[in-house]
Amino acid sequence: MRIETGREGDRVVVRAQGEIDVRTAPGLRRALDEAVAAGGGDLVVDMAAVTFLDSSGLGVLLGRLRRMPPGRRLVLRRPRPTVRALLDLAGVTRLVAVEDGEDGPGRNGG
């Protein structure tokens, strides 16, 4: 898995690429924790290139959700249909904003 962190305005965007499982989840956890610690606004996880997600990766996302500082949101961007299905099954999409737009804030269900 490859992870890149960048900025879009005051948003911190973490792009993950590849499979998120028990081996790669710790790297994602570190990247997200660093992104939050660096300050800024919402934390956007761009999942367009995430080809696999299981409970290990889901645990990382939910753990970060719980630890988000007040006033900052966790946003999941463009999950693929197979990944989205797991997020739906686990109820994550009821807790976290999901953006489907190509780029920019776009629409999301608050």
Partner 1 sequence: MGRGEMAAEVNRIDIRFPARPENVAVARAAVASAASVLPFTLAEVEELRIAVSEAVSNAVLHAYGPEGGEVEVAVEVDGGGVAVCVADRGRGIADVERARRPDFSTLEGHLGLGFAFLAAMTDELEVASEVGRGTRIRFVKRPQAEPGEEPSGDAAGGA
Q: Which 38-57 positions form the footprint of partner 1 (CB under 8 A)?
A: 52, 54-56
- Given the structure tokens 């197979």, which residue do they identify? 82
Q: For the chain, how far is it from start to end, CA to CA, in angstroms?
A: 29
Select the span of 4-12, 67-75, 79-87, 99-107 touching partner 1 (CB under 8 A): 79-87
CA distance 6 to 19: 20
Q: How far is the CB of 68 from partner 1 (least distance, A)?
A: 15
Question: Residues 19, 78, 110, 38: is their CA dihedral positive or negative?
Answer: positive
- 86 binds partner 1 per the rule CB under 8 A: yes
Which residues lie near partner 1 (CB under 8 A)? 19, 21-23, 52, 54-56, 58-59, 62, 81-82, 85-86, 89-91
